[in-house]
Amino acid sequence: MGYYDYYKNICICPPRPVILGLGDQYCNEVDSWPVDVYNVAGIVIGNATNKAEYINIWNSNSINRTVGRLFNFWGPFSFLLMVNPGQIIPYCLGGIGVPSIGLFAIEFATEFE
């Protein structure tokens, strides 16, 4: 067993915090409730009329729990995702149709394009 395998098997890495905003299928911010809730596979798992419902529905999905856990953050449409070690941070979750609502990561690099 090499060093990498040793640390991969023994390391207890904490989840990584990422701030996410609520967005539609094109990653445009939304500003009203209700919204459809999508899992990280792009499947509708429910409909939320407020932030607390959105968090509860998102966290109740087993596919989402593999990626991380969603928490409340400042403002009505911002969230904190604690990403599990080794998981990819979702950039834009959404689906086909209107309205399709999901999460998108705030990336400063794309804000100025």
- Give residue-wise pLDDT tens across range 64-109: 999 999 999 988 888 888 988 888 777 654 433 333 344 444 444 4
> What's the domain count of the chain?
1
Identify the domain containing residue 45 by its residue range.
Answer: 14-111
Is residue 3 domain-resident? no
- Band (pLDDT 50/70/90 cuts) for residue 20 is confident
Residue appearing with tokens 């990626």:
67
Residue appearing with tokens 């094109």:
26
* CA dist., res. 66 & res. 41, Å (int): 11
Is residue 5 domain-resident? no
Q: For the chain, how far is it from start to end, CA to CA, in angstroms?
A: 46
Average pLDDT, the chain: 74
Mean pLDDT of 27-39: 82
Is residue 47 domain-resident? yes
